Structure 1
Amino acid sequence: MKFLEVKNLCKEYGNINAVDGVDFFINKKEIFGLLGPNGAGKSTIIGMIIGLINLTKGEIIFEETNNKINGWKENIGLVPQDFALYWDLSAEENIKFFCSLYGFKGEELNRRVERALEFVGLSSVRKKISGQFSGGMKRRLNMACAIAHTPKLIIMDEPTVGIDPQSRNHILNSVKQLRNEGSTIIYTSHYMEEVDDICDRIAIMDHGKIIAEGNSEYLKSLVSDQNIYSITINNKSCDVLECLNSITGVEKVVVNDNEIKCSYLKESNVIEQIVSNLSKRNIIIENIKNETPSLETVFLSLTGKKLRD
């Protein structure tokens, strides 16, 4: 089921097309990654989805029937990259304030605040002034304020910037849990390993357009028709190159001391022949690892390696 659909979305600022005819859809209970270099148009799209930026043309359709953002805002939770917190209020007071904006009060409001604190692991510091929190705790509180009203759509814009590994791991696990509990999530990040780990589908943007879309494995298939076996041996032989280069499907072999890099065509099943050929020469294999292109490789290949401001 299409939960959110964007059709021919455009945003023009004078002669600049910040978003140029973008189409995509997000399924219900899906984590959708939105990637792109600085200035690609990600933030503009998010601004239009939440109703802060007027679109030039196109459609944004919620739950297949309602394309009026003003009647759907209460179903959105935004975790912005910049902290949206009151530093002189406690964690509990911050969550209570933001949740009350959606009309909750009394026992129901208290229940939602309690659940949000527990969800992000801040129950024990609920009375502490948020301005005294560490970066990781602020990020978790930022999330709690966005989810306390149980939104159907949660937009997370760089939610793990500048935090410690424990807090990052907690947030990533929380994102998965929110999806499992029924939320649909748009996730942006420059940490490619995060996106690879948690996103069901990914769209890569550049210059206001979507240039590639699909799951992680599909995107990785776009950049190369080869994979690499990284092989560690404990007794180097002078004919390693010869015995591996002779295998059909093997494209290139590089030997560096006891490390072998063996490039092969993706459609080729060469592993059995590699093991057999090395064993016949009494070469002992200590480790074999299949190295596939990373999502970062895909990103750099599609958008270019040049730094942008």
Structure 2
Amino acid sequence: MLEVSHLSKRFGSKSAVKNVSFQVNQGDSFGLLGPNGAGKSTTISMITGLVSPDEGEISIDGKTMRKHPKYLKRRIGLVPQTIALYGMLNARENLEFWGTVYGISGAKLKDNVAWCLKVAGLEENSKQLVKKYSGGMQRRLNIAVGMIHRPEILIMDEPTVGIDPQSRNHILETVKDLSITVIYTSHYMEEVQFLCERLAIMDHGQVIAYGDLDDVRHLAGTLATITMEVHGELKPVISELQQDLTLKQVQVNGNTLVLQSTNAATAVSKAVMVMSRHGIQPVKIDVEEPNLETAFLHLTGRQLRDGQDGVSP
């Protein structure tokens, strides 16, 4: 549905985006990840038509942003990271205002406002001034405003920053149930794992990983790490465990046994069985499976970054 082809953008001497390409299928939730300064915001700004690329193209169902900007912009909804609401208006008035900006009026506007309030879970608070809303309620209304024109593609830039767990869970469940195409950026890897079937990871303006969630997750490796603290002497079990070809690594540090395996459940079962034969009991077992955060840190590094990638959508 959405195709991003060879996008590049410079701001003065700074190259914010370099030859970025990816596709988003209709109805998919697509994750766009990267550390600060990776080029995500500039890429989103180009997709929404707020910034023109120096090179490359954005197209939706074959129509390009260069040739059909007004038509494509009406098919896209944007939920910015910053709250884009009027505090002196209530939720219904905010939705009505933004609906008229999109040229919606009459019965259609009324229906769209009612739908957005229901999706956001704000029907009972629709007449309360937004400035009196909690942070979570404002975030939910911010999302509703992005959907007031019933877009086919919804771009969500860090929509759960700084809110309570209940509101965060409501937002995630709402997004998962939406029958539209979603592009989702977040620093919370568990959100992307919950929502997205496919994703791209950007760094230094380029896409460094792209594909199905499981494929990207396994870029950091497929081995699970099992850490077992025990009561007893581990030396008698080491030689036996080292003979097991399914265990890729067997290490001992004092009373702690560390194993690596492609199958964590099987590894734990075998280790416990071997230790039991030697009268050794585990007192604590931790299992770390390969996940998206592991892959992200493996690909982008662990250093803290404070850079900005050019412009904010």
**CA distance in structure 2 between the aligned counterparts of 1:159 and 1:115, rounded to whole angstroms:** 19
| Structure-1 residue corresponding to 2:51 | 53
| Residue 7 (structure 2) aligned to one of 6, 9, 16 | 9
Are 1:70 and 2:70 matched, yes or no?
yes
What is the 5 A alignment of 1:149-160?
149-160=149-160
What is the aligned-residue identity percentage? 44
> RMSD between aligned alpha carbons?
2.4
| Structure-2 residue corresponding to 1:277 | 274
Q: Which amino acid aligns with 1:59?
A: E
**Could you report, residue by residue, the CA deviation over 1:165-195 in whole angstroms, capped at 9, with x for unpaired residues?**
00000001111011xx2x0011001111111
Q: Structure 1: state its 5+ residue gaps.
A: none
Q: Which amino acid aligns with 2:226?
A: Y
SS class of match (2:74):
helix
Higher relative contact order (CA 8 A, sep 6+): 2
**Could you report, residue by residue, the CA deviation over 1:230-283 in whole angstroms, capped at 9, with x for unpaired residues?**
4576x54542434323322331234665x643123579x756643543343355
Contact 1:247–1:274 (Cα < 8 Å) also in 2 = no
Instruction: For residue 115 of structure 1, report the CA deviation from its aligned partner.
Output: 1.4
Question: Structure 1 residues 110, 256: closer, same or farther in 2, change over 3 A?
Answer: farther
Instruction: For residue 290 of structure 1, report the CA deviation from its aligned partner.
Output: 4.4
Question: Structure 1 residues 265, 145: closer, same or farther in 2, change over 3 A?
Answer: closer
What is the 5 A alignment of 1:1-309?
3-67=1-65, 68-178=68-178, 181=179, 183-231=180-228, 236-238=232-234, 239-248=236-245, 249-254=247-252, 257=255, 260-264=257-261, 270=267, 273-283=270-280, 290-309=287-306
Question: Structure 1 residues 175, 232: closer, same or farther in 2, change over 3 A?
Answer: farther
- The TM-score, its normalising length taken from structure 2, stands at 0.88
The number of equivalent residue pairs is 302
Q: Structure 2: state its 5+ residue gaps.
A: 307-313
Q: Which amino acid aligns with 1:58?
A: G
**CA distance in structure 2 between the aligned counterparts of 1:198 and 1:164, rounded to whole angstroms:** 19
**Could you report, residue by residue, the CA deviation over 1:8-55 in whole angstroms, capped at 9, with x for unpaired residues?**
111112222111101110011111111111111111111111111011
Question: Structure 1 residues 266, 208: closer, same or farther in 2, change over 3 A?
Answer: farther
**CA distance in structure 2 between the aligned counterparts of 1:60 and 1:301, rounded to whole angstroms:** 29
Question: Structure 1 residues 273, 188: closer, same or farther in 2, change over 3 A?
Answer: same
Contact 2:222–2:290 (Cα < 8 Å) also in 1 = no
**Could you report, residue by residue, the CA deviation over 1:143-181 in whole angstroms, capped at 9, with x for unpaired residues?**
111112210000000000000000000001111011xx2
Contact 2:19–2:206 (Cα < 8 Å) also in 1 = yes
**Could you report, residue by residue, the CA deviation over 1:71-97 in whole angstroms, capped at 9, with x for unpaired residues?**
211111110000110111001100111
